[in-house]
Chain A
Amino acid sequence: MGLFVNVLLSGVAQGMVFAAVALGLVLVSRATGIVNFAQGAMGMFTTFIAFSLLTAGLGYWPAFVSALAIGFVLGAVVERTLMRPLRGKPALNPVIVTIGLLVVLEGVAGSIWGGASQGFPAAFSQRGLVVGTTRVAFSQFDVFIVGAVAVLVVAIVALFRWTDLGLRMRAAAFSPEVSQLLGVRVGRLFTLGWALACAAGSLAGLLVAPLSSFSPYYMDLNLVYGFTAAVLGGLLSPAGALVGGLVTGLAIAFVGAYVGSDLQPIAALVLLLLVLMLRPQGLFGTAEVRRV
């Protein structure tokens, strides 16, 4: 029973991190209809910038906030310089560019900070909390992870559902041409979508870094898990990303504890395959109906 509860708790914490990665994928997918394979690498890069700031003597929270802000700017720059010229081109072109960006960012990070694993500090203690007389596999840092991602998801859902800006962003994503005819500055909203996505990726990078071996490649597997979570949630739904992240996190945690940690990536791929075969629109998506 104790093992089950501990696995459940660690699955929730992991799942929230996957939800943050998934949220970034969802934001770009909603805004521009493409899957950003560089999502993890962009988070990795800004986390390394935070690492440099910490090494230079900046405090944890200033470095943390700086990484989020740099992620926001990086997302905007990538959209304006790499993605904007590809608007109207075949859908595969931007996808391939994001794969190229992933390779470039990992290469540049490796050349600046080295390819070896390093330690990245956590904002709070990573020792399990004590409940009664029992220490559980859920630390103060895990509480922070859950809280930070929950706040992010609520903020994104509120933005889309209750604000004029969110309505403009949804309209621009669903129908860019009609939105332009209504005076919506679609290009700016695409830039904002990428900026928010990259900031979400930075948050994921900062949350994952203390939990894993911190190297230029540490987000690769998390991208796979985040992608599974995003597809599970319907790829367009922020709330779906949260639920998809939790389901993926729990599945990974239980497979790791009861079957074997080597099989965790395979479990994610099996989950992805099951979703694509049984409910390709995801848990929160709706099947497309086409009038003929």
Chain B
Amino acid sequence: MLQVDKLSVRYGPVRALDEVSFEARDARITTVLGANGAGKTTLLRTLSGLVRHQAGTASFDGSLLTGRQPEAIARMGVAHVPEGRGVIAELTVDENLRLGTFCRVRRAERRGAIEEIYERFPGLGDRRHRSASSLSGGERQMLVIGRALVSRPRFLLLDEPSLGLAPMITAQMMATLRDLTAEKGLGAILVEQNARSALSVADWAIVLNLGRVVAADEPARLAVDSDLRRHYLGF
């Protein structure tokens, strides 16, 4: 379980996160919604160690995340899939996946773990020796999710995975995410601009506004709250 307790982050005078608290459980998708600038990406970047916090704590299965380096957090099994697709375009598809195996998969098991990803995403297997820069937007998204999965994570942090994708591909990706959390018992925090699609797959939802939690409830309840929808969710 990932626990966030009164987490605060400032960028100079700007309060990006203001005493944010919530729990994200295993085998569940917790979606974090909100307008641009609400603090969603800052939240994930703080959880994965890329942004320094000023106050509060975040912990995973009882171990503190806050104060650790990003590589140490990755080695704990918390995999962050960054926004902007995060592929290393100068490497091949296979090399991107190999990188994902280094920190948590035994040497003898690495090739098998990569082949599992190719089975799950056959489009990647066909292009394994091609440069990642040659992939389409949807394929790049598959690659970064595959790269996170190949590391055998215990928890996923997904930042805007549907950014720039066609609605049909977004729906497929959300379904894949749903299957993964159910199959492997993975917990996930899903940050999304596309509130409707995120609410459709999530088990729990949090709404951020100007760095503060303004609502936290089951997705079905948030989806029918017309005030919340109008003010924060944009649909």
- A binding-site residues for B, Cβ under 8 Å: 164, 167-168, 170-171, 174-175, 177-186
Contact = CB atoms under 8 A, between A and B. Distances in A.
B103 to A, nearest CB: 3
B91 A182 contact: no
B218 interface: no
A80 B18 CA distance: 35
A182 B50 contact: no
Given A179-B88, A183-B75, 19 more contacts: A164-B98, A170-B90, A170-B91, A175-B88, A177-B70, A178-B82, A178-B86, A178-B88, A180-B74, A181-B48, A181-B70, A181-B79, A181-B80, A182-B99, A182-B103, A183-B103, A184-B71, A184-B99, A186-B71
A30 to B, nearest CB: 11
Interface string B71-83: 1001100011010
Contacts of B104: 183
B74 A177 contact: no
5 contacts: A171-B88, A177-B70, A180-B70, A180-B71, A184-B71
Given A177-B50, A177-B82, A182 B100 contact: yes
Contact of A182 (B69, B89, B90, B102): B102
B90 A168 contact: no
A180 B49 CA distance: 9
* Contact count band on B: 20 to 34
A185 B102 contact: no
Dominant secondary structure at the A interface:
helix
Contacts of B91: 167, 170-171, 174
Contacts of A180: 49-50, 69-71, 74
Contacts of A178: 82, 86-88
Nearest to B69: A180
Contacts of B25: none
Interface string B145-181: 0010001000000000000000000000000000000
Contacts of A175: 86, 88
Contacts of B99: 167-168, 171, 179, 182, 184
A177 B83 CA distance: 12
A246 to B, nearest CB: 26
B102 A181 contact: no
A171 B79 CA distance: 17
A181 B74 contact: yes
B95 interface: yes
B151 A182 contact: yes
Interface of B: 48-50, 69-71, 74-75, 79-80, 82, 86-91, 95, 98-100, 102-104, 147, 151
Nearest to A175: B88
Dominant secondary structure at the B interface:
loop
Contacts of B88: 171, 174-175, 178-179
A183 B151 contact: yes
Contacts of A177: 50, 70, 82
A224 B151 CA distance: 44
Nearest to A188: B71
A258 B75 CA distance: 61
Q: When A and B form their complex, which 7 residue pairs have the shortest distance between CB atoms, in order from nearest?
A: A183-B103, A183-B74, A180-B70, A174-B90, A175-B88, A181-B80, A183-B75
A130 to B, nearest CB: 48
A291 to B, nearest CB: 9
Contacts of B98: 164, 167
Contacts of B87: 178
B74 A168 contact: no
Contacts of A167: 91, 95, 98-99
Contacts of B48: 181
B148 to A, nearest CB: 9
Contacts of A186: 71
Nearest to B49: A180
B90 A185 contact: no
A179 B50 CA distance: 12
Contacts of B80: 181
A168 B70 CA distance: 15
Interface centre among A170, A174, A181, A185 (most CB of B within 10 A): A181
A157 to B, nearest CB: 16
Nearest to A286: B90
Interface centre among A177, A178, A179, A184 (most CB of B within 10 A): A178
Given A168-B99, A171-B91, A177-B50, A182 B147 contact: yes
A265 B126 CA distance: 51
A24 B79 CA distance: 34
Nearest to A186: B71
Contacts of A170: 90-91
A184 B102 contact: yes
